[in-house]
Structure 1
Amino acid sequence: MRSTEIATSDGSGRLHALRFGPAESHDGKVVLAAHGITASAMSFVAVARAMPADWTLIAVDLRGRGGSADLPGPFGMDQHAEDLAAVAKQIGTPLVLTGQSMGAYAALRAAARFPGMFSRLVLIDGGLPLPVPAGADPAALLEATVGPAIARLKTTFPSEHAYLEFFQNHPALAAAWNDDLAAYVRYDIAGEPGSIRSRVNPQAVAADGRDLLVNAASFGADLRSLRLPARLLYAPRGMLGQEPGMVSQSLVDQWTQQSAITACLIPDCNHYTILTDPAPAAQVAQELTGS
Protein backbone atom coordinates (compact mmCIF):
# COMPACT_ATOMS: atom_id res chain seq x y z
CA MET A 1 0.00 0.00 0.00
CA ARG A 2 1.38 3.39 -1.03
CA SER A 3 0.01 6.90 -0.58
CA THR A 4 -0.34 9.26 -3.51
CA GLU A 5 -1.65 12.77 -4.09
CA ILE A 6 -3.66 13.74 -7.17
CA ALA A 7 -4.64 17.27 -8.21
CA THR A 8 -8.35 18.09 -8.16
CA SER A 9 -10.10 19.24 -11.32
CA ASP A 10 -11.01 22.64 -9.85
CA GLY A 11 -7.55 23.55 -8.57
CA SER A 12 -8.68 23.52 -4.93
CA GLY A 13 -5.93 21.17 -3.77
CA ARG A 14 -4.88 17.55 -3.96
CA LEU A 15 -6.89 14.43 -3.26
CA HIS A 16 -5.20 11.79 -1.16
CA ALA A 17 -5.41 8.20 -2.39
CA LEU A 18 -4.06 4.76 -1.48
CA ARG A 19 -2.57 2.55 -4.18
CA PHE A 20 -2.56 -1.23 -3.79
CA GLY A 21 -0.83 -3.67 -6.13
CA PRO A 22 1.87 -3.13 -8.76
CA ALA A 23 3.68 0.21 -8.85
CA GLU A 24 2.93 0.41 -12.57
CA SER A 25 -0.43 -0.65 -13.97
CA HIS A 26 -0.91 -2.16 -17.40
CA ASP A 27 -3.47 -3.79 -19.72
CA GLY A 28 -6.36 -1.90 -18.12
CA LYS A 29 -6.04 -3.91 -14.91
CA VAL A 30 -6.82 -0.96 -12.66
CA VAL A 31 -9.75 -0.36 -10.32
CA LEU A 32 -10.62 3.14 -9.05
CA ALA A 33 -12.65 2.98 -5.82
CA ALA A 34 -14.81 5.46 -3.88
CA HIS A 35 -15.87 4.88 -0.26
CA GLY A 36 -18.96 5.58 1.86
CA ILE A 37 -20.22 8.79 3.41
CA THR A 38 -18.14 8.74 6.64
CA ALA A 39 -15.51 6.25 5.48
CA SER A 40 -12.12 6.44 3.76
CA ALA A 41 -9.88 4.72 1.24
CA MET A 42 -9.03 2.17 3.94
CA SER A 43 -12.44 0.56 3.35
CA PHE A 44 -10.94 -1.34 0.40
CA VAL A 45 -7.92 -3.00 2.05
CA ALA A 46 -9.42 -6.52 2.16
CA VAL A 47 -10.74 -6.24 -1.39
CA ALA A 48 -7.34 -5.09 -2.68
CA ARG A 49 -5.63 -8.00 -0.90
CA ALA A 50 -7.96 -10.48 -2.63
CA MET A 51 -7.32 -9.14 -6.14
CA PRO A 52 -4.95 -10.93 -8.55
CA ALA A 53 -1.32 -9.86 -8.16
CA ASP A 54 -1.23 -8.09 -11.53
CA TRP A 55 -4.16 -5.81 -10.69
CA THR A 56 -3.94 -2.34 -9.13
CA LEU A 57 -6.59 -0.78 -6.91
CA ILE A 58 -6.53 2.96 -6.26
CA ALA A 59 -8.87 4.02 -3.46
CA VAL A 60 -9.53 7.74 -3.13
CA ASP A 61 -10.15 9.68 0.07
CA LEU A 62 -13.09 11.77 -1.11
CA ARG A 63 -13.31 15.46 -0.18
CA GLY A 64 -13.86 15.90 3.53
CA ARG A 65 -12.55 12.45 4.47
CA GLY A 66 -9.25 10.76 5.32
CA GLY A 67 -6.22 12.48 3.87
CA SER A 68 -8.55 14.74 1.84
CA ALA A 69 -10.42 15.95 4.95
CA ASP A 70 -9.17 19.53 4.62
CA LEU A 71 -10.21 20.00 1.00
CA PRO A 72 -12.94 22.64 0.66
CA GLY A 73 -16.39 22.25 -0.87
CA PRO A 74 -18.47 22.24 -2.83
CA PHE A 75 -19.43 18.72 -1.88
CA GLY A 76 -22.14 16.54 -3.45
CA MET A 77 -22.07 13.84 -6.09
CA ASP A 78 -21.36 16.22 -8.98
CA GLN A 79 -18.12 17.33 -7.35
CA HIS A 80 -17.11 13.83 -6.28
CA ALA A 81 -17.72 12.65 -9.86
CA GLU A 82 -15.51 15.45 -11.19
CA ASP A 83 -12.81 14.44 -8.71
CA LEU A 84 -13.01 10.77 -9.71
CA ALA A 85 -12.73 11.75 -13.37
CA ALA A 86 -9.67 13.88 -12.57
CA VAL A 87 -8.04 10.90 -10.83
CA ALA A 88 -8.91 8.58 -13.73
CA LYS A 89 -7.44 11.02 -16.24
CA GLN A 90 -4.15 11.20 -14.36
CA ILE A 91 -3.96 7.43 -13.86
CA GLY A 92 -4.78 6.60 -17.45
CA THR A 93 -8.01 5.22 -18.83
CA PRO A 94 -10.09 3.19 -19.39
CA LEU A 95 -10.29 1.57 -15.96
CA VAL A 96 -12.84 -0.21 -13.77
CA LEU A 97 -14.80 2.18 -11.55
CA THR A 98 -16.40 1.14 -8.28
CA GLY A 99 -17.95 2.71 -5.20
CA GLN A 100 -19.55 1.51 -2.00
CA SER A 101 -22.56 3.14 -0.28
CA MET A 102 -22.33 6.90 -1.00
CA GLY A 103 -19.28 6.19 -3.15
CA ALA A 104 -21.53 4.15 -5.43
CA TYR A 105 -23.57 7.28 -6.21
CA ALA A 106 -20.40 9.27 -6.91
CA ALA A 107 -19.13 6.47 -9.16
CA LEU A 108 -22.49 6.24 -10.94
CA ARG A 109 -22.48 9.98 -11.63
CA ALA A 110 -18.90 9.81 -12.93
CA ALA A 111 -19.71 6.85 -15.21
CA ALA A 112 -22.81 8.60 -16.56
CA ARG A 113 -20.97 11.85 -17.31
CA PHE A 114 -17.58 10.50 -18.39
CA PRO A 115 -18.33 7.08 -19.92
CA GLY A 116 -15.23 7.04 -22.13
CA MET A 117 -12.96 6.97 -19.09
CA PHE A 118 -14.24 3.70 -17.68
CA SER A 119 -14.49 0.14 -18.96
CA ARG A 120 -16.99 -1.09 -16.37
CA LEU A 121 -18.94 0.16 -13.35
CA VAL A 122 -19.45 -1.88 -10.18
CA LEU A 123 -21.80 -0.46 -7.54
CA ILE A 124 -21.45 -1.93 -4.05
CA ASP A 125 -24.50 -1.70 -1.76
CA GLY A 126 -25.50 1.68 -3.12
CA GLY A 127 -26.16 3.71 -6.25
CA LEU A 128 -29.89 3.00 -6.57
CA PRO A 129 -32.16 6.03 -5.99
CA LEU A 130 -33.22 6.28 -2.35
CA PRO A 131 -36.99 5.96 -1.88
CA VAL A 132 -38.01 9.43 -0.65
CA PRO A 133 -41.67 9.88 0.42
CA ALA A 134 -43.55 12.52 -1.58
CA GLY A 135 -43.68 15.84 0.25
CA ALA A 136 -41.12 14.77 2.85
CA ASP A 137 -39.17 17.51 4.63
CA PRO A 138 -35.51 17.21 3.51
CA ALA A 139 -34.22 18.54 6.85
CA ALA A 140 -36.21 15.95 8.80
CA LEU A 141 -35.10 13.16 6.46
CA LEU A 142 -31.48 14.24 6.76
CA GLU A 143 -31.69 14.24 10.54
CA ALA A 144 -33.27 10.78 10.54
CA THR A 145 -30.77 9.23 8.13
CA VAL A 146 -27.46 11.06 8.51
CA GLY A 147 -28.03 12.83 11.83
CA PRO A 148 -26.60 10.04 14.02
CA ALA A 149 -23.45 9.87 11.87
CA ILE A 150 -22.94 13.64 12.10
CA ALA A 151 -23.42 13.49 15.87
CA ARG A 152 -20.76 10.78 16.08
CA LEU A 153 -18.33 12.89 14.04
CA LYS A 154 -18.69 15.69 16.59
CA THR A 155 -18.13 13.39 19.57
CA THR A 156 -14.74 13.28 21.28
CA PHE A 157 -13.19 10.26 22.97
CA PRO A 158 -10.62 10.15 25.77
CA SER A 159 -8.20 7.87 23.95
CA GLU A 160 -7.47 5.91 20.79
CA HIS A 161 -8.48 2.77 22.69
CA ALA A 162 -11.89 4.28 23.51
CA TYR A 163 -12.41 5.21 19.88
CA LEU A 164 -11.53 1.69 18.74
CA GLU A 165 -13.81 0.24 21.40
CA PHE A 166 -16.71 2.34 20.11
CA PHE A 167 -16.40 0.69 16.70
CA GLN A 168 -15.74 -2.76 18.13
CA ASN A 169 -19.13 -2.56 19.88
CA HIS A 170 -21.01 -1.52 16.72
CA PRO A 171 -23.73 -4.13 16.04
CA ALA A 172 -22.65 -4.55 12.40
CA LEU A 173 -18.96 -4.96 13.26
CA ALA A 174 -18.70 -6.66 16.65
CA ALA A 175 -18.87 -10.23 15.36
CA ALA A 176 -16.62 -9.47 12.39
CA TRP A 177 -13.87 -7.41 14.02
CA ASN A 178 -10.43 -7.91 12.49
CA ASP A 179 -7.10 -6.17 11.97
CA ASP A 180 -8.29 -4.41 8.81
CA LEU A 181 -11.14 -2.76 10.71
CA ALA A 182 -8.76 -1.70 13.47
CA ALA A 183 -6.44 -0.13 10.87
CA TYR A 184 -9.44 1.56 9.23
CA VAL A 185 -10.45 3.16 12.55
CA ARG A 186 -6.91 4.29 13.37
CA TYR A 187 -6.63 5.93 9.94
CA ASP A 188 -9.70 8.01 10.79
CA ILE A 189 -8.37 9.39 14.08
CA ALA A 190 -7.70 13.10 14.61
CA GLY A 191 -7.11 15.17 17.73
CA GLU A 192 -4.97 14.70 20.80
CA PRO A 193 -5.30 12.30 23.75
CA GLY A 194 -8.27 13.43 25.79
CA SER A 195 -10.00 14.77 22.69
CA ILE A 196 -9.82 12.05 20.03
CA ARG A 197 -12.32 12.39 17.18
CA SER A 198 -12.96 11.43 13.58
CA ARG A 199 -11.19 13.52 10.98
CA VAL A 200 -14.23 13.43 8.68
CA ASN A 201 -15.71 16.88 7.99
CA PRO A 202 -19.34 16.92 9.28
CA GLN A 203 -20.27 19.64 6.79
CA ALA A 204 -19.24 17.38 3.91
CA VAL A 205 -21.40 14.56 5.28
CA ALA A 206 -24.40 16.85 5.69
CA ALA A 207 -24.04 18.26 2.16
CA ASP A 208 -23.57 14.83 0.60
CA GLY A 209 -26.45 13.33 2.56
CA ARG A 210 -28.77 16.11 1.47
CA ASP A 211 -27.76 15.64 -2.16
CA LEU A 212 -28.57 11.92 -2.01
CA LEU A 213 -32.05 12.66 -0.65
CA VAL A 214 -33.09 15.84 -2.46
CA ASN A 215 -31.75 14.74 -5.84
CA ALA A 216 -32.64 11.04 -5.57
CA ALA A 217 -34.43 11.02 -8.93
CA SER A 218 -31.28 12.17 -10.73
CA PHE A 219 -29.57 8.87 -9.95
CA GLY A 220 -32.36 7.02 -11.71
CA ALA A 221 -31.66 9.16 -14.76
CA ASP A 222 -27.97 8.26 -14.47
CA LEU A 223 -28.77 4.54 -14.34
CA ARG A 224 -30.95 4.74 -17.43
CA SER A 225 -28.31 6.68 -19.35
CA LEU A 226 -25.36 4.35 -18.70
CA ARG A 227 -23.40 3.37 -21.79
CA LEU A 228 -20.97 0.91 -20.21
CA PRO A 229 -21.43 -2.47 -18.49
CA ALA A 230 -22.71 -2.00 -14.95
CA ARG A 231 -23.08 -4.42 -12.05
CA LEU A 232 -24.62 -4.05 -8.59
CA LEU A 233 -23.32 -6.09 -5.65
CA TYR A 234 -25.53 -5.92 -2.57
CA ALA A 235 -25.62 -7.25 0.98
CA PRO A 236 -28.49 -9.10 2.68
CA ARG A 237 -28.04 -7.12 5.92
CA GLY A 238 -27.94 -3.39 6.61
CA MET A 239 -26.04 -0.74 8.55
CA LEU A 240 -26.84 -2.24 11.94
CA GLY A 241 -26.26 -5.80 10.80
CA GLN A 242 -30.00 -6.38 10.43
CA GLU A 243 -32.21 -7.74 7.67
CA PRO A 244 -33.27 -6.51 5.19
CA GLY A 245 -30.24 -4.87 3.64
CA MET A 246 -29.80 -1.22 2.83
CA VAL A 247 -30.53 -2.05 -0.83
CA SER A 248 -33.84 -3.89 -0.72
CA GLN A 249 -34.68 -6.72 -3.08
CA SER A 250 -37.67 -4.78 -4.41
CA LEU A 251 -35.39 -1.85 -5.26
CA VAL A 252 -32.94 -4.19 -6.98
CA ASP A 253 -35.76 -5.76 -8.98
CA GLN A 254 -37.09 -2.34 -9.99
CA TRP A 255 -33.78 -1.05 -11.33
CA THR A 256 -32.61 -4.22 -13.03
CA GLN A 257 -35.87 -3.96 -14.98
CA GLN A 258 -35.66 -0.21 -15.66
CA SER A 259 -31.96 -0.05 -16.59
CA ALA A 260 -29.24 -2.25 -18.07
CA ILE A 261 -27.59 -2.90 -14.71
CA THR A 262 -27.24 -6.50 -13.52
CA ALA A 263 -27.15 -7.52 -9.86
CA CYS A 264 -25.58 -10.10 -7.56
CA LEU A 265 -26.37 -10.73 -3.89
CA ILE A 266 -23.18 -11.26 -1.86
CA PRO A 267 -24.17 -13.71 0.91
CA ASP A 268 -23.39 -13.62 4.64
CA CYS A 269 -22.47 -9.95 5.00
CA ASN A 270 -23.85 -6.54 5.90
CA HIS A 271 -23.43 -3.02 4.53
CA TYR A 272 -19.88 -2.79 5.92
CA THR A 273 -18.58 -6.34 5.99
CA ILE A 274 -19.26 -6.74 2.27
CA LEU A 275 -15.86 -5.00 2.00
CA THR A 276 -14.10 -6.00 5.22
CA ASP A 277 -14.84 -9.71 5.77
CA PRO A 278 -12.43 -11.95 3.82
CA ALA A 279 -15.07 -14.10 2.05
CA PRO A 280 -17.33 -11.32 0.72
CA ALA A 281 -14.30 -9.15 -0.02
CA ALA A 282 -12.89 -11.95 -2.17
CA GLN A 283 -16.17 -12.21 -4.09
CA VAL A 284 -16.19 -8.43 -4.62
CA ALA A 285 -12.59 -8.67 -5.90
CA GLN A 286 -13.62 -11.39 -8.38
CA GLU A 287 -16.46 -9.21 -9.66
CA LEU A 288 -14.15 -6.21 -10.07
CA THR A 289 -11.48 -8.09 -11.96
CA GLY A 290 -13.55 -10.67 -13.80
CA SER A 291 -11.37 -13.40 -12.33
Structure 2
Amino acid sequence: MTAHDLAGLHLERAGADGPLVLCLHGIGSSSAAFTPQLRALAPDFRVLAWDAPGYGRSADPEHPLTLDDFADTAAAVIRAHGGRAHVVGVSWGGVIALRLAVRHPGLVESLTVADSTPGSGTSPDKAAAMRARVPELAELGPRAFAERRAPRLVSPQAPDALVRRAVDTMAAAVRLPGYSYAAESMATTDLRDELAKVDAPTLVLCGAQDRITGPDASQVLAGGLHKTAYVIVKDAGHLANQEQPEHFNAWLLAHLHIVTDAKTSKG
Protein backbone atom coordinates (compact mmCIF):
# COMPACT_ATOMS: atom_id res chain seq x y z
CA MET A 1 0.00 0.00 0.00
CA THR A 2 1.03 3.62 -0.44
CA ALA A 3 0.61 6.40 2.10
CA HIS A 4 -3.05 7.52 2.27
CA ASP A 5 -4.15 4.34 0.43
CA LEU A 6 -6.74 2.68 2.64
CA ALA A 7 -7.33 -0.41 0.51
CA GLY A 8 -4.72 -2.46 2.37
CA LEU A 9 -5.36 -1.00 5.82
CA HIS A 10 -6.90 -3.27 8.46
CA LEU A 11 -9.36 -1.65 10.87
CA GLU A 12 -11.01 -3.19 13.90
CA ARG A 13 -14.48 -1.75 14.48
CA ALA A 14 -16.88 -1.47 17.40
CA GLY A 15 -20.12 0.41 17.96
CA ALA A 16 -22.60 1.47 15.31
CA ASP A 17 -23.61 4.99 16.33
CA GLY A 18 -22.20 8.07 17.94
CA PRO A 19 -19.10 10.22 17.41
CA LEU A 20 -16.09 8.62 15.75
CA VAL A 21 -13.06 7.53 17.79
CA LEU A 22 -9.83 6.48 16.03
CA CYS A 23 -7.26 4.48 18.02
CA LEU A 24 -3.57 4.46 17.01
CA HIS A 25 -1.34 1.81 18.58
CA GLY A 26 2.27 1.85 19.74
CA ILE A 27 5.35 0.93 17.75
CA GLY A 28 5.36 -2.69 18.92
CA SER A 29 1.67 -3.36 18.74
CA SER A 30 -1.52 -3.46 16.65
CA SER A 31 -5.24 -2.89 16.90
CA ALA A 32 -5.33 -5.79 19.39
CA ALA A 33 -3.93 -3.39 21.99
CA PHE A 34 -7.28 -1.60 22.13
CA THR A 35 -9.56 -4.56 22.85
CA PRO A 36 -10.54 -3.17 26.29
CA GLN A 37 -11.27 0.27 24.81
CA LEU A 38 -13.36 -1.06 21.92
CA ARG A 39 -15.61 -2.84 24.39
CA ALA A 40 -15.91 0.14 26.73
CA LEU A 41 -16.54 2.78 24.06
CA ALA A 42 -18.88 0.80 21.77
CA PRO A 43 -22.15 1.71 23.55
CA ASP A 44 -21.67 5.45 22.93
CA PHE A 45 -19.16 5.79 20.09
CA ARG A 46 -18.16 4.41 16.69
CA VAL A 47 -14.65 3.12 17.29
CA LEU A 48 -11.91 2.26 14.81
CA ALA A 49 -8.51 0.83 15.73
CA TRP A 50 -5.97 0.46 12.95
CA ASP A 51 -3.12 -1.85 12.21
CA ALA A 52 -0.73 0.83 10.99
CA PRO A 53 0.68 0.43 7.48
CA GLY A 54 3.19 -2.43 7.58
CA TYR A 55 1.80 -3.86 10.83
CA GLY A 56 -0.40 -6.81 11.73
CA ARG A 57 -3.03 -7.45 9.08
CA SER A 58 -2.33 -4.27 7.10
CA ALA A 59 -0.41 -4.38 3.84
CA ASP A 60 3.26 -3.47 3.64
CA PRO A 61 3.98 0.06 2.35
CA GLU A 62 5.39 0.32 -1.16
CA HIS A 63 7.95 2.93 -0.04
CA PRO A 64 9.30 4.35 3.23
CA LEU A 65 6.79 6.32 5.30
CA THR A 66 7.55 9.38 7.41
CA LEU A 67 5.65 10.56 10.46
CA ASP A 68 3.74 12.92 8.17
CA ASP A 69 2.78 9.96 5.98
CA PHE A 70 1.42 8.02 8.96
CA ALA A 71 -0.46 11.12 10.14
CA ASP A 72 -1.88 11.76 6.67
CA THR A 73 -3.01 8.14 6.38
CA ALA A 74 -4.82 8.51 9.71
CA ALA A 75 -6.40 11.68 8.33
CA ALA A 76 -7.60 9.71 5.30
CA VAL A 77 -9.23 7.17 7.62
CA ILE A 78 -11.09 9.95 9.42
CA ARG A 79 -12.26 11.53 6.16
CA ALA A 80 -13.48 8.17 4.92
CA HIS A 81 -15.58 7.65 8.06
CA GLY A 82 -17.26 10.98 8.63
CA GLY A 83 -14.79 13.83 8.61
CA ARG A 84 -13.95 14.41 12.32
CA ALA A 85 -12.81 12.12 15.13
CA HIS A 86 -11.63 11.86 18.69
CA VAL A 87 -8.14 10.39 18.36
CA VAL A 88 -6.60 8.06 20.95
CA GLY A 89 -2.87 7.38 20.57
CA VAL A 90 -0.66 5.16 22.70
CA SER A 91 3.13 5.72 22.65
CA TRP A 92 4.12 6.00 18.94
CA GLY A 93 0.41 6.32 18.21
CA GLY A 94 0.35 9.38 20.44
CA VAL A 95 3.16 10.95 18.43
CA ILE A 96 1.20 10.30 15.23
CA ALA A 97 -1.93 11.74 16.86
CA LEU A 98 -0.16 14.96 17.84
CA ARG A 99 1.28 15.44 14.34
CA LEU A 100 -2.18 14.69 12.92
CA ALA A 101 -3.68 17.43 15.10
CA VAL A 102 -1.08 19.92 13.83
CA ARG A 103 -1.38 18.98 10.16
CA HIS A 104 -5.16 18.43 10.07
CA PRO A 105 -6.71 20.39 12.95
CA GLY A 106 -10.15 20.38 11.35
CA LEU A 107 -10.32 16.58 11.59
CA VAL A 108 -9.56 16.26 15.32
CA GLU A 109 -12.31 16.76 17.90
CA SER A 110 -10.06 15.78 20.81
CA LEU A 111 -6.88 13.90 21.62
CA THR A 112 -6.04 11.29 24.20
CA VAL A 113 -2.28 10.68 24.35
CA ALA A 114 -1.18 7.80 26.56
CA ASP A 115 2.34 6.80 27.65
CA SER A 116 3.78 8.86 24.84
CA THR A 117 6.64 11.22 24.13
CA PRO A 118 7.59 14.22 21.96
CA GLY A 119 9.58 11.77 19.83
CA SER A 120 12.97 10.10 19.97
CA GLY A 121 14.61 12.99 18.14
CA THR A 122 14.81 14.91 21.39
CA SER A 123 18.34 13.58 21.94
CA PRO A 124 20.98 11.78 19.86
CA ASP A 125 21.05 8.88 22.33
CA LYS A 126 17.30 8.32 22.12
CA ALA A 127 17.37 8.51 18.34
CA ALA A 128 20.24 6.01 18.16
CA ALA A 129 18.48 3.63 20.54
CA MET A 130 15.33 3.76 18.45
CA ARG A 131 17.23 3.04 15.23
CA ALA A 132 19.12 0.17 16.92
CA ARG A 133 15.84 -1.72 17.29
CA VAL A 134 15.67 -2.35 13.54
CA PRO A 135 18.77 -4.59 13.20
CA GLU A 136 17.71 -6.27 16.45
CA LEU A 137 14.36 -7.22 14.90
CA ALA A 138 16.09 -8.35 11.70
CA GLU A 139 18.47 -10.56 13.65
CA LEU A 140 16.07 -12.06 16.16
CA GLY A 141 12.81 -12.25 14.21
CA PRO A 142 9.44 -11.08 15.58
CA ARG A 143 8.93 -13.78 18.24
CA ALA A 144 12.34 -13.53 19.93
CA PHE A 145 12.28 -9.74 19.55
CA ALA A 146 8.92 -9.65 21.35
CA GLU A 147 10.09 -12.01 24.09
CA ARG A 148 13.03 -9.68 24.77
CA ARG A 149 11.13 -6.38 24.68
CA ALA A 150 7.48 -6.89 25.55
CA PRO A 151 7.85 -7.82 29.25
CA ARG A 152 9.17 -4.33 30.01
CA LEU A 153 5.98 -2.79 28.65
CA VAL A 154 4.06 -3.67 31.79
CA SER A 155 4.74 -3.05 35.48
CA PRO A 156 6.88 -5.52 37.44
CA GLN A 157 3.83 -6.85 39.26
CA ALA A 158 1.77 -7.45 36.10
CA PRO A 159 0.16 -10.91 35.92
CA ASP A 160 1.82 -13.53 33.73
CA ALA A 161 -1.21 -13.65 31.45
CA LEU A 162 -0.80 -9.96 30.58
CA VAL A 163 2.91 -10.42 29.90
CA ARG A 164 2.18 -13.35 27.57
CA ARG A 165 -0.49 -11.32 25.80
CA ALA A 166 1.94 -8.44 25.31
CA VAL A 167 4.51 -10.83 23.83
CA ASP A 168 1.96 -12.48 21.54
CA THR A 169 0.57 -9.13 20.37
CA MET A 170 4.02 -7.78 19.52
CA ALA A 171 5.13 -10.98 17.80
CA ALA A 172 2.04 -10.95 15.57
CA ALA A 173 2.24 -7.22 14.84
CA VAL A 174 5.83 -6.30 13.99
CA ARG A 175 7.81 -7.04 10.86
CA LEU A 176 10.12 -5.34 8.42
CA PRO A 177 10.01 -2.99 6.63
CA GLY A 178 7.04 -1.43 8.47
CA TYR A 179 8.78 -1.40 11.84
CA SER A 180 11.86 0.26 10.35
CA TYR A 181 9.74 3.08 8.90
CA ALA A 182 8.03 3.57 12.25
CA ALA A 183 11.36 3.59 14.12
CA GLU A 184 12.83 6.15 11.72
CA SER A 185 9.71 8.31 12.06
CA MET A 186 10.33 8.37 15.81
CA ALA A 187 14.09 8.90 15.55
CA THR A 188 13.65 12.01 13.40
CA THR A 189 10.87 13.61 15.46
CA ASP A 190 10.93 16.22 18.20
CA LEU A 191 7.46 17.65 18.75
CA ARG A 192 8.31 20.02 21.59
CA ASP A 193 8.06 23.14 19.42
CA GLU A 194 4.82 21.91 17.82
CA LEU A 195 2.82 21.28 20.99
CA ALA A 196 1.63 24.87 21.27
CA LYS A 197 0.05 24.54 17.83
CA VAL A 198 -2.31 21.79 18.97
CA ASP A 199 -5.75 23.30 19.50
CA ALA A 200 -7.70 20.12 20.31
CA PRO A 201 -8.56 19.46 23.97
CA THR A 202 -6.14 16.76 25.10
CA LEU A 203 -6.05 14.17 27.85
CA VAL A 204 -2.51 13.01 28.66
CA LEU A 205 -2.23 9.76 30.63
CA CYS A 206 0.78 7.78 31.78
CA GLY A 207 1.28 4.63 33.80
CA ALA A 208 2.99 5.42 37.09
CA GLN A 209 5.48 2.59 36.44
CA ASP A 210 6.06 3.23 32.74
CA ARG A 211 9.66 2.14 32.09
CA ILE A 212 9.68 2.95 28.37
CA THR A 213 8.71 6.60 27.89
CA GLY A 214 7.97 7.38 31.54
CA PRO A 215 5.99 10.09 33.33
CA ASP A 216 8.66 12.73 32.59
CA ALA A 217 7.96 12.55 28.85
CA SER A 218 4.21 12.76 29.43
CA GLN A 219 4.76 15.81 31.65
CA VAL A 220 6.60 17.49 28.78
CA LEU A 221 3.57 16.88 26.57
CA ALA A 222 1.09 18.09 29.16
CA GLY A 223 3.16 21.18 29.88
CA GLY A 224 3.45 22.13 26.22
CA LEU A 225 -0.21 21.75 25.32
CA HIS A 226 -2.76 24.51 25.97
CA LYS A 227 -5.98 22.56 26.56
CA THR A 228 -4.84 19.58 28.57
CA ALA A 229 -5.49 17.40 31.58
CA TYR A 230 -2.76 15.12 32.93
CA VAL A 231 -3.45 11.83 34.72
CA ILE A 232 -1.11 9.28 36.28
CA VAL A 233 -2.54 5.74 36.15
CA LYS A 234 -1.59 3.85 39.31
CA ASP A 235 -0.20 0.31 39.18
CA ALA A 236 0.40 0.44 35.43
CA GLY A 237 3.41 0.34 33.16
CA HIS A 238 3.74 1.50 29.55
CA LEU A 239 0.61 -0.41 28.52
CA ALA A 240 -1.63 1.45 30.95
CA ASN A 241 -4.69 1.03 28.72
CA GLN A 242 -4.29 -2.76 28.94
CA GLU A 243 -2.90 -3.17 32.45
CA GLN A 244 -5.47 -0.95 34.19
CA PRO A 245 -8.31 -0.77 31.64
CA GLU A 246 -11.04 0.14 34.14
CA HIS A 247 -9.19 3.24 35.36
CA PHE A 248 -7.95 4.14 31.89
CA ASN A 249 -11.39 3.77 30.34
CA ALA A 250 -13.05 5.82 33.07
CA TRP A 251 -10.75 8.77 32.38
CA LEU A 252 -11.06 8.31 28.61
CA LEU A 253 -14.87 8.16 28.67
CA ALA A 254 -15.07 11.19 30.96
CA HIS A 255 -12.85 13.16 28.56
CA LEU A 256 -14.82 12.12 25.49
CA HIS A 257 -18.17 12.92 27.08
CA ILE A 258 -16.99 16.31 28.34
CA VAL A 259 -15.79 17.30 24.87
CA THR A 260 -18.90 15.88 23.17
CA ASP A 261 -21.31 17.53 25.62
CA ALA A 262 -19.52 20.88 25.28
CA LYS A 263 -19.85 20.72 21.51
CA THR A 264 -23.54 19.81 21.77
CA SER A 265 -24.27 22.70 24.13
CA LYS A 266 -22.55 25.13 21.76
CA GLY A 267 -24.48 23.75 18.81
Give me the whole-angstrom Cα distance separating, in 1, the residues matched to 2:122 and 2:137. 24
Change (3 A) 1:167 1:43: farther
The aligned counterpart of 1:226 is 198
Q: Is 1:274 the counterpart of 2:241 in the alignment?
A: yes
Shift of 1:43: 0.6
Percent sequence identity over matched residues? 20
The aligned counterpart of 1:42 is 32
Q: Which amino acid is 1:230 matched to?
A: T
Q: Confirm or deny: 8 A CA contact 1:13 1:71 kept in the other structure.
A: no
Point out the structure with max Rg over C-alpha.
1
Unpaired runs of 5+ residues, structure 1, are: 1-6, 190-197
Higher percent of residues as helix? 2
Q: Confirm or deny: 8 A CA contact 2:115 2:210 kept in the other structure.
A: no
- What TM-score results when the alignment is normalised by the length of structure 2? 0.78
Q: Confirm or deny: 8 A CA contact 1:43 1:276 kept in the other structure.
A: no
The aligned counterpart of 1:246 is 214
The aligned counterpart of 1:84 is 74
Give me the whole-angstrom Cα distance separating, in 1, the residues matched to 2:145 and 2:182. 24
Q: Confirm or deny: 8 A CA contact 1:44 1:276 kept in the other structure.
A: no
Shift of 1:176: 2.7
Shift of 1:47: 2.0
- What TM-score results when the alignment is normalised by the length of structure 1? 0.73
The aligned counterpart of 1:75 is 65
Alignment RMSD = 3.4
The aligned counterpart of 2:129 is 144
Residues 129-278 of structure 1: pairs in structure 2 closer than 5 A:
129-130=119-120, 132-133=122-123, 136=124, 141-148=126-133, 151-152=136-137, 154-156=139-141, 166=147, 170-173=151-154, 175-177=157-159, 186=168, 198-216=172-190, 219-239=191-211, 246-248=214-216, 251-262=217-228, 263-278=230-245
Give me the whole-angstrom Cα distance separating, in 2, the residues matched to 1:185 and 1:222. 33
Give me the whole-angstrom Cα distance separating, in 1, the residues matched to 2:150 and 2:232. 26
State the number of aligned residues. 256
Match 2:10 to one of 7, 11, 16: 16
Unpaired runs of 5+ residues, structure 2, are: 259-267
Change (3 A) 1:171 1:118: closer
Q: Which amino acid is 1:144 matched to?
A: A
Q: Confirm or deny: 8 A CA contact 2:29 2:173 kept in the other structure.
A: no
Q: Which amino acid is 1:233 matched to?
A: L
The aligned counterpart of 1:195 is none
Give me the whole-angstrom Cα distance separating, in 2, the residues matched to 1:129 and 1:268. 25
